[in-house]
Amino acid sequence: MSESMYHESIDFLKPYIQTQPLIGIVLGTGLGGLVADIQIKHKIPYTSIPHFPVSTVESHQGYLLIGTLANKEVIVMQGRFHYYEGYSMEQVTYPIRIMALLGIQNLMISNAAGGLNPEFEIGELMLIHDHINLFPEHPLRGKNNPQWGPRFPDMSEPYAFNYIEIAEKFAHSANFKLHKGVYAGVQGPCLETRAEYKYLRTIGADAVGMSSIPENIVARHMGIKVFAVSVITDKCIPELLKVLSLEEVIAAAQKAEPNLRKLIHYMVSVLD
């Protein structure tokens, strides 16, 4: 993708943006209901944005929403691009670059993930405080654009510590369970085998999913602060493993949605 492509996407979207700060939000599988809280001003199909990839997974709608949440202007990806769908890493992260170039300083990511930590139950939430990148390709591989960020981005704080602290206090006062853990990102699309779940747990992961890490890396490359939450949609304990359907993943995501909505609403209201 050439630099002029990015410019064409930005030129198309700029007229829709009114104010700053602009907060970017990525909605994961089954979490589209969050949009009910947003005063939507523009609902832009991905298909109409020059050079935007188009979503292929049934459970993901492809719209960029621009509106307000908690009196702040937000730009929301309703539907994300997964590496397993066949997109290149550049395509997967294209919308994140675009949101960054449009001026977001904060990115909130949600996803559905399998719970490796035996203390996690289906429908609970986990704040991501760190990750293990197991994708077979890195989104920053290749020539670096120094205007976007450094060649060797620092990853000592991939998820903003102060937001994690704020979120934990909020969950405590709002009386819902909010775990904190390490997210392992894998290519998919197969779910993992028992042996792979055992391996992932052994290397220190609390949850596993097929997204979010490429987005996080590109956002951090551009100096954007990231806040990310996983909805635990299934239990990945080797001894207890059962067959999992996409319907179950979506049902679990929907179960978690009220708390996730509260959390995202609150975080948007306090983000700087």
**Cα within 13 Å of Cα(101), Cβ side:** 20
Report the site for ligand HPA in 103-122 (rule: CB under 6 A).
112-114
Residue among 73 and 124 whose Cβ is closer to ligand HPA: 124
CB count, 10 Å around CB of 222? 20
Report the site for ligand HPA in 54-83 (rule: CB under 6 A).
none
Q: How far apart are CB 167 and ligand HPA at their closest, in Å?
A: 21
Among 233, 256, 264, 271, binds ligand HPA (CB under 6 A): 233
Q: How far apart are CB 204 and ligand HPA at their closest, in Å?
A: 16
Q: How far apart are CB 190 and ligand HPA at their closest, in Å?
A: 9
Residue among 233 and 259 whose Cβ is closer to ligand HPA: 233
> In degrees rounded to 5, what are phi and psi of residue 147?
-70, -25
Distance CA 64, CA 80 (A): 10
Q: How far apart are CB 250 and ligand HPA at their closest, in Å?
A: 10
Report the site for ligand HPA in 168-227 (rule: CB under 6 A).
191-192, 208-210
Residue among 193 and 269 whose Cβ is closer to ligand HPA: 193
Closest CA to 36 of 261, 196, 266, 271: 261
**DSSP helix/strand/coil, 153:** coil
Query: How many residues are given for the chain?
Result: 272
Closest CA to 272 of 212, 215, 227: 227
> In degrees rounded to 5, what are phi and psi of residue 262?
-60, -45
The crossing angle, in degrees rounded to 10, of helices 89-101 and 3-13 is 50
How many residues touch ligand HPA under the rule CB under 6 A: the total is: 12
Q: How far apart are CB 240 and ligand HPA at their closest, in Å?
A: 12
Binding site for ligand HPA (CB under 6 A): 112-114, 191-192, 208-210, 233-234, 236, 249
